[in-house]
Structure 1
Amino acid sequence: MYIVREIFYLQFGRYKDAKVLIDEAMKGGLMPQTTGNRVLTDFTGESYRLIFESSYATLADFEKELAKDMGAANWKEWYEKFKALVRHSEREILKQIS
């Protein structure tokens, strides 16, 4: 099992705007539809982070889902709006061992 975390560091004061877009993406089916999906925000540490966490049986499953999601026209439009709120981002891919 692999856990993928997409971590977005938001611009100061833009959390509410980002939350509106996240809600829009969830309702529109723009987020991966895999088991164990979660959207998290920071409670401690560097502020104004949004973390999208998903689980996949294989890395090939992750790549397939990523290509499908990023290829959708409505996703590209949504992501352009979301990108404007982000300072920078990073991706973690973790392998669950127990």
Structure 2
Amino acid sequence: MYVVRDIFHLKFGHYRDAKALMDDIMQKGLLKDMKQPRVLTDFTGDAYRLILEASFDTLDEYEKSLTGNLSQNDWQQWYMKFKEHVERSYREILKQVM
């Protein structure tokens, strides 16, 4: 099992708009290839982060979800709006061992 986290550091004052866009993408089902996607925010540490987390049985499954989701026109339009609120981002891919 692999856990993938996309960590977005948001611009100051952009949390509400970015969160609304995350709500929108979840409601539209644009993350349907992800098993139990979760959206998290910081409680401590670096401020103004949104974290999209999902689990995958294999890295191949994760890659297929990327090619399926990212090629959709709806996804591309959403992402153009979302990235206006992001200062920087990075991805963690973790392997669950227990």
Q: RMSD over aligned Cα, in angstroms?
A: 0.9
Structure 1 CA distance for aligned equivalents of residues 24 and 37 of structure 2: 16
Q: Where does structure 2 lack aligned partners over 5 or more consecutive residues? A: none
Gaps of 5+ in 1: none
TM-score by length of 1: 0.96
Q: Give percent identity, aligned residues only.
A: 52
Is the 1:32–1:54 Cα contact (8 Å) retained in structure 2?
Answer: no
Moved over 4 A (4+): none
**2:93 match: secondary structure:** strand
3-state SS, counterpart of residue 97 of structure 1:
coil
Aligned residue in 2 for 1:23: 23
TM-score, reference length from structure 2:
0.96
Provide the rounded CA distance (Å) in 2 between the counterparts of 1:25 and 1:37.
Answer: 11
Q: How does 1:29-44 map to 2 (within 5 A)?
A: 29-44=29-44
CA contact (8 A) 2:33 2:69 kept: no
Count residues in correspondence. Answer: 98
